Copies of this chain bind each other. A is one copy, B any other.
Amino acid sequence: MSDPFGDRLTAIFRRSGQLCVGIDPHAGLLDSWGLPDSAAGVRDFGLRVVEAVIGRAGVVKPQVAFFERHGSAGYSALEDVLAAARAAGLLVIADVKRGDVGTTVEASADAWLTPGSTLEVDAMTAVAYQGLGSLDGVIDRAQRHGKGVFVLAATSNPEAFETQTAMRADGLTVAAALTAGVAARNGQGSPGTLGAIGVVIGATVALPDFGLSAASFTGMPILAPGFGHQGARIAQLTELFGSAADNVLVSASRSILSVGRADLAAAIDDHVRQVAACLA
């Protein structure tokens, strides 16, 4: 087995910084890149992003729905992109937001987190509308295989607020209870490293509104989408996450990808510099 996910993520943070580059080949971007809206187009798009990230940042996050949109051929394209990214030593997070119970959710973990699967990645995103316990099969498999899981907790989209701030019978908000449950299953490997099981926190949320604070995330990796395109500025990273800013994987997709193929490398370099400057 490889090193625990948290160890590997911590090493990447030290070596390459905390930027995660999204791979979101939606129809509009394919068009602006001069690529066809097809399985071949999403393959080309993904491989070009991977190529540009190598040597510049350490983590990529393919948005799987944009590959699934092209059926089994799209999944085959995704397999090629995943293989290229992992062969280059990039850490790969599949943004799949899977959630279910029992053998079904175990099958999702088998697909994404099992060594040797054609869809093998380093970590996946997951959804716990059916309770964090419904994801036991995913968390167990992640820890067994040295993989990671990011569970959606507090997200940026405004229509999420009422659900994620709803109050449970135990007096915790849905988002805070999930985060506490994740903390209890943190899966830390070596001392001083991040754990393997983390949360997704939108970069534009006000943590106190969800009953969360920087202390909620001790030792926990945080995947934070919403920088750039969705309104949060990277310079606000420490303002948003306080002392937990060191745990944040700063995810940027549209703000990098929308510059087009020619300027991609420069946009990645620029984002890496912004993140590093903010955390210095």
**Is the CB–CB distance between B111 and A127 below 8 Å?**
no
Cross-chain contact of A111 among B71, B157, B170, B178 (Cβ < 8 A):
B71
Chain A window 61-101, contacts with chain B (Cβ cutoff 8 Å), 1 for yes, 0 for no: 00101101111110110110000000000000001011111
When A68-B119, A79-B71, A129-B128 are in contact, do A134 and B107 touch as well, CB less than 8 Å?
no
Interface positions of A from 133 to 167, Cβ below 8 Å from B: 133-134, 152, 155, 157-167
Residue of A70, A75, A107, A160 with highest tally of chain B CB at under 10 A = A107
**Is the CB–CB distance between B68 and A107 below 8 Å?**
yes
**Is the CB–CB distance between A117 and B71 below 8 Å?**
yes
Cross-chain contact of A127 among B28, B129, B161 (Cβ < 8 A):
B129
When A68-B108, A69-B111, A108-B65 are in contact, do A163 and B131 touch as well, CB less than 8 Å?
yes
**Is the CB–CB distance between B68 and A111 below 8 Å?**
yes
Q: How far is the CB of A152 from chain B (nearest CB, A)?
A: 6
Q: Is A118 an interface residue (CB 8 A)?
A: yes
Chain A window 19-30, contacts with chain B (Cβ cutoff 8 Å), 1 for yes, 0 for no: 000001010100
Q: Is A132 an interface residue (CB 8 A)?
A: yes
Q: Is A110 an interface residue (CB 8 A)?
A: yes
Q: How far is the CB of A253 from chain B (nearest CB, A)?
A: 10
Cross-chain contact of A131 among B69, B157, B177, B178 (Cβ < 8 A):
B157
Complex formed: what's the CA distance from A108 to B67 in Å? 9
Task: Please indicate the chain B residues that have their CB under 8 angstroms from the CB of A132 in the complex.
Answer: 159
**Is the CB–CB distance between A130 and B65 below 8 Å?**
no
Task: Please indicate the chain B residues that have their CB under 8 angstroms from the CB of A127 in the complex.
Answer: 97, 99, 127, 129
Cross-chain contact of A166 among B68, B111, B119, B166 (Cβ < 8 A):
B166
When A71-B75, A98-B97, A119-B71 are in contact, do A163 and B63 touch as well, CB less than 8 Å?
no
**Is the CB–CB distance between B107 and A66 below 8 Å?**
yes
Q: How far is the CB of A60 from chain B (nearest CB, A)?
A: 16
When A68-B111, A69-B111, A111-B65 are in contact, do A133 and B104 touch as well, CB less than 8 Å?
no
Task: Please indicate the chain B residues that have their CB under 8 angstroms from the CB of A28 in the complex.
Answer: 103
Chain A window 35-70, contacts with chain B (Cβ cutoff 8 Å), 1 for yes, 0 for no: 000000000000000000000000000010110111
Q: How far is the CB of A106 from chain B (nearest CB, A)?
A: 8
**Is the CB–CB distance between A104 and B160 below 8 Å?**
no
Task: Please indicate the chain B residues that have their CB under 8 angstroms from the CB of A162 in the complex.
Answer: 131, 168-170, 177
18 extra A-B contacts, CB within 8 A, seeds A24-B103, A71-B119, A129-B155: A26-B103, A28-B103, A69-B107, A71-B75, A71-B117, A73-B118, A99-B127, A101-B155, A128-B129, A128-B163, A130-B155, A131-B159, A131-B163, A133-B157, A133-B158, A134-B157, A167-B168, A174-B174
